[in-house]
Structure 1
Amino acid sequence: MALPAGPRWEPQAGVTLETRRLGKGGFDTWEDALALWQGSKPVLGRGLVGQIFHGIHPFEATANFVGRFTGYVVAPQTGIYEFTSMSTGPSFLRVDGRTMMHRPKGGGMNASHMQGAGKIELQAGVHQVEYSCAHSGEGTWYAGAAWRPPGAKYFQVLAPTNFVPVARFAATEFAPAEPVPGRTYFESRNVEHSLVDDLILVNMEFNVVGTNAAQSYEWVFDDATKATGAKVRHPFPRPGMRQVTLNVLEKGAKVGSLTDTIAVKPQWAQQAAWHDSIYAEESRDLAGREYAATPVADVAALVKFAHRIEDRPLMTRLGGFALKRQGEFDATLAGTFFQLAGNYEHFAVRDYPAAEQGWKAAIAQGDPTLRERAKLRLAGYYINIATRAQEGRKVFDTVQETALTDNERRLKKIYGGDLLLLEGKADEARAAYKAIITAPPVKGATARLDVNVPKIENARDLIRRKEYDAVAEMIWQIQWEKPMERMDFETGLPQVKAFFGRKEFPLARSRSLQLLNGTTVDNQRAELLYQLIEIHLALAQTDLAQDSFAQLTKLYPYSEAAANAKFKWGKSVGKN
Structure 2
Amino acid sequence: MKKIFSLYNRLFYFYLFFSFFASGMAQSWQESSAPCRIKIKKSSGPWPCHVGYVEIYPGFEDTKGFRLYRNNATEVAYKILWSKKGEPIKILFDCSSKDKEYYLYCMPKATPGRAGWEPKAGLFLWTKKRPEGAVDNLAQVKELWQRSEETFGASRVPMVFHGVHLHGDSLNFLSYYLGYLEIPKEGTYSFATVSDDASFLLINGKEVAAWPGWHGPHQGLHGEYSGDISLASGIHKLEYYHVQGLGGTTAVAAWRQPSEKRWRLIQPQSFLPVASFTCAFAETAVGKKQKTFFAWQTTRHLMAEKNIALVEMLFQIPDPIPQHRYVWTIDDGSKKEGEKISHVFLRPAMRMIQLEVWQGSQKLDSVWQKIHVQPKWEQINLWDDHVFLDYTKQILEQNLMKIPMEDFLYLIQFACSVKAIKWLDTLSATSLLRAKEYKKEHADTLYALALACQEAAISQIHNTKQILELILALPAEERLSHQARLHLGDFLYFIEGKAQDAHKIIQGISPSYLSLEERGKLKILQAEILFAENQVEKAKETLFSFFTPPTSSSFSLQRAGILEKARLLLIQKKIQDASEILKEWQDKNPTERLYPDTLFVDLKVALANQEYARALLLCQKLSQLVSLDKERAWVLYYLMETHKKAGNLKESQEAMQKLLKDFRYTEPAAMAKEKNS
Q: TM class by shorter-chain length?
A: 0.5 to 0.7
Secondary structure of 1:267's aligned partner: coil
Shift of 1:192: 0.4
Whether 2:567 is the aligned partner of 1:460: answer yes
Instruction: Indicate the residue corresponding to 2:458 in structure 1.
Output: 349
* Cα distance, 1:129–1:489 mapped onto 2, change above 3 Å: same
Identity of counterpart residues, as a percentage?
23
> Which range moves more in the overlay, 374-383 or 145-154?
145-154
Whether 2:608 is the aligned partner of 1:501: answer yes
Aligned counterparts, 1:168-567, within 5 A? 176-178=281-283, 186-197=294-305, 198-207=307-316, 219-227=328-336, 230-246=339-355, 258-346=367-455, 348-363=457-472, 364-438=474-548, 451=558, 453=560, 456-567=563-674
Q: Where does structure 2 lack aligned partners over 5 or more consecutive residues?
A: 1-63, 66-78, 86-123, 152-168, 175-196, 201-205, 216-237, 243-273
Q: Deviations over 1:53-111 (max 9, x none)?
A: 37xxxxxxxxxxxxxxxxxxxxxxxxxxxxxx34xxxxxxxxxxxxxx7xxxxxxxxxx
Shift of 1:358: 1.6
Q: Is the 8 A contact 2:128 2:150 kept in 1?
A: no
Rounded to whole Å, the distance in 2 between the matches of 1:540 and 1:250 is: 67
Secondary structure of 2:391's aligned partner: helix
Counterpart residue type for residue 497 of structure 1: K
Shift of 1:131: 4.6
Whether 2:128 is the aligned partner of 1:52: answer yes
Size of the aligned set, in residue pairs, is 458
What TM-score results when the alignment is normalised by the length of structure 1?
Answer: 0.66
Counterpart residue type for residue 670 of structure 2: A
Q: Deviations over 1:369-407 (max 9, x none)?
A: 222222111111122121111121122222111121111
Q: Is the 8 A contact 2:351 2:373 kept in 1?
A: yes
* Cα distance, 1:173–1:473 mapped onto 2, change above 3 Å: closer
> Which range moves more in the overlay, 543-552 or 124-133?
124-133
Instruction: Indicate the residue corresponding to 2:114 in structure 1.
Output: none
Q: Deviations over 1:325-367 (max 9, x none)?
A: 2343344432222232234435642433211112222334533
Q: Deviations over 1:482-502 (max 9, x none)?
A: 333212221011112223333
Counterpart residue type for residue 545 of structure 2: A
Q: Is the 8 A contact 2:129 2:150 kept in 1?
A: no
Counterpart residue type for residue 418 of structure 1: E
Q: Where does structure 1 lack aligned partners over 5 or more consecutive residues?
A: 1-7, 19-47, 55-84, 87-100, 102-115, 134-139, 164-168, 442-447, 571-576
Rounded to whole Å, the distance in 1 between the matches of 2:143 and 2:599 is: 74
Counterpart residue type for residue 564 of structure 1: M
Rounded to whole Å, the distance in 1 between the matches of 2:559 and 2:618 is: 27
Shift of 1:435: 2.6
Secondary structure of 1:50's aligned partner: strand
Secondary structure of 2:534's aligned partner: coil
> Over aligned residues, Cα RMSD in angstroms?
4.7
> Which range moves more in the overlay, 367-376 or 430-439?
430-439
- Bigger Rg over Cα: 2
* Cα distance, 1:539–1:206 mapped onto 2, change above 3 Å: farther
Instruction: Indicate the residue corresponding to 2:225 in structure 1.
Output: none
Aligned counterparts, 1:69-218, within 5 A? 85-86=131-132, 129-131=147-149, 143-144=172-173, 154-155=212-213, 176-178=281-283, 186-197=294-305, 198-207=307-316
Counterpart residue type for residue 483 of structure 1: P
Secondary structure of 2:546's aligned partner: coil
* Cα distance, 1:181–1:558 mapped onto 2, change above 3 Å: farther
Rounded to whole Å, the distance in 2 between the matches of 1:118 and 1:454 is: 53
Q: Deviations over 1:262-296 (max 9, x none)?
A: 22111133221122222221111112121112222
Shift of 1:530: 3.1
Shift of 1:243: 1.7
Secondary structure of 1:51's aligned partner: strand
Rounded to whole Å, the distance in 2 between the matches of 1:544 and 1:251 is: 75
Q: Is the 8 A contact 2:637 2:656 kept in 1?
A: yes
Rounded to whole Å, the distance in 2 between the matches of 1:15 and 1:231 is: 25
Rounded to whole Å, the distance in 2 between the matches of 1:255 and 1:546 is: 80
Bigger RCO of structures 1 and 2 (CA < 8 A, at least 6 apart): 2
* Cα distance, 1:232–1:520 mapped onto 2, change above 3 Å: farther
Rounded to whole Å, the distance in 2 between the matches of 1:536 and 1:254 is: 70
Q: Is the 8 A contact 1:383 1:422 kept in 2?
A: no
Q: Deviations over 1:158-188 (max 9, x none)?
A: x99669xxxxx98879873349999876443
Secondary structure of 1:234's aligned partner: strand
What TM-score results when the alignment is normalised by the length of structure 2?
Answer: 0.57
